[in-house]
Amino acid sequence: MLVKRVCIVGVGLMGGSMALALRLAQRTTVPRFPLHLTLVDRDPKTREAVKNLANVVTADFAEGVAEAELVILATPVRTVVHLLGELARIRPFGCMVMDIGSSKAAIENAMNHLPATFQAIGGHPMCGRETAGFSAATPDLFRKQTFVLCRNARTTPAIEEQAHRIVNLIGANLLLLPAELHDNIVAVVSHLPYVVAAALMRNAATMGDEHVWLVSSTGFRDTSRISGTDPTMMLDILLTNKTAVLDQLAHYQADLSALQKFIETEDEVGLRQWLTETQKQYLEYRRNKR
């Protein structure tokens, strides 16, 4: 059973989709379960857009979380860390708290420092879009997508059960991972892809020839797509997952340099091997994703 009083803080793409998905689940589950939903967002336009979705809509964090049984933090990572400190102050007798931030070690650390009256778990749904904000939110964003949960010192069976319940209600697939492993993996499959796409977009934009966009096709479009990601969210990710991101960047650039060398020296044997290996890895990945 999901607790009744849920408060989602940050009603952007992720928090908004979570709110929509929980409401949809509530309305389509027989028998309906009670859900008193509070949404907290500092943007007046967002608050206006979600006024029919929630029981309470507010700009004030303290007001929003005051009576919540479960608080879901859906802001950029460093704001999650900050709000966990606030929460300890506002709710000294504790509550259940979960977050859906994009890197987990910094949040795990903050959750470990919560008073023992709190029950907490880290979460990260592996889905996203290059467009941010509630206007891009959709109730089926999480459907059939992996949802990572990370335990910490404040994780109890009760908060873990609530998290499982949510993952189930929104149609996602649960995966339990330690925060550090999670952060290493997302550096590889999410943060490095952003960096790669971003540098590609910058490279094309700075060419400054009017024909560039005319000639660009689906390959460029897909490879550069996530360069549109929200800068504030990305800033927090790159700084809170600094070590793993820098490791992957170094590894990535070393591989690019190897390729560069093959092309420079016209080493056909080395180049063909690099290209053939890569295609094989792609095919292997596609097999694993089906």
In the complex, the smallest distance separating the C-beta of residue 18 from its own copies, rounded to whole angstroms, is 16
Q: Which stretch binds its own copies (CB under 8 A): 2-10, 38-46, 54-62, 268-276?
A: 268-276
In the complex, the smallest distance separating the C-beta of residue 241 from its own copies, rounded to whole angstroms, is 9
Q: Are 201 and 224 in contact (CB under 8 A)?
A: yes
Q: Is 162 in the site for its own copies (CB under 8 A)?
A: no
Q: Is 81 in the site for its own copies (CB under 8 A)?
A: no
Per CB under 8 A, contacts with its own copies among 189-208 are: 189-190, 192-207
In the complex, the smallest distance separating the C-beta of residue 196 from its own copies, rounded to whole angstroms, is 5
* CB nearer its own copies, residue 116 or residue 269: 269
Question: Binding residue for its own copies (CB under 8 A) from 19, 25, 126, 169?
Answer: 126
Distance from C-alpha of 76 to C-alpha of 102, rounded to nearest angstrom: 8
Spatial CA neighbour of 142 closest among 100, 173, 177: 173
Question: Binding residue for its own copies (CB under 8 A) from 26, 109, 138, 145?
Answer: 145
Q: Is 88 in the site for its own copies (CB under 8 A)?
A: no
Sort residue 55 into left (φ over 0), alpha (ψ -120 to 50) or beta: alpha
Q: Is 135 in the site for its own copies (CB under 8 A)?
A: no
Total of residues contacting its own copies (CB under 8 A) = 94
Question: Binding residue for its own copies (CB under 8 A) from 146, 158, 161, 171?
Answer: 146
Contacts of 131 (CB under 8 A, 6+ apart): 13, 228
Q: Is 252 in the site for its own copies (CB under 8 A)?
A: yes
Distance linking the first and last C-alpha atoms of the chain: 32
Q: Which stretch binds its own copies (CB under 8 A): 46-54, 86-94, 149-157, 260-268?
A: 260-268
Per CB under 8 A, contacts with its own copies among 19-38 are: none
The encoded tokens of residue 119 equal 């029950």
Residue located via tokens 């095919």: 283
CA distances from 221 to 26, 137, 155, 198, 216 (A): 37, 22, 41, 12, 7
Per CB under 8 A, contacts with its own copies among 205-244 are: 205-207, 209, 211-232, 234-235, 238-239, 242
Contacts of 137 (CB under 8 A, 6+ apart): 11, 12, 13, 14, 15, 16, 17, 19, 20
Q: Is 55 in the site for its own copies (CB under 8 A)?
A: no
Distance from C-alpha of 76 to C-alpha of 58, rounded to nearest angstrom: 18
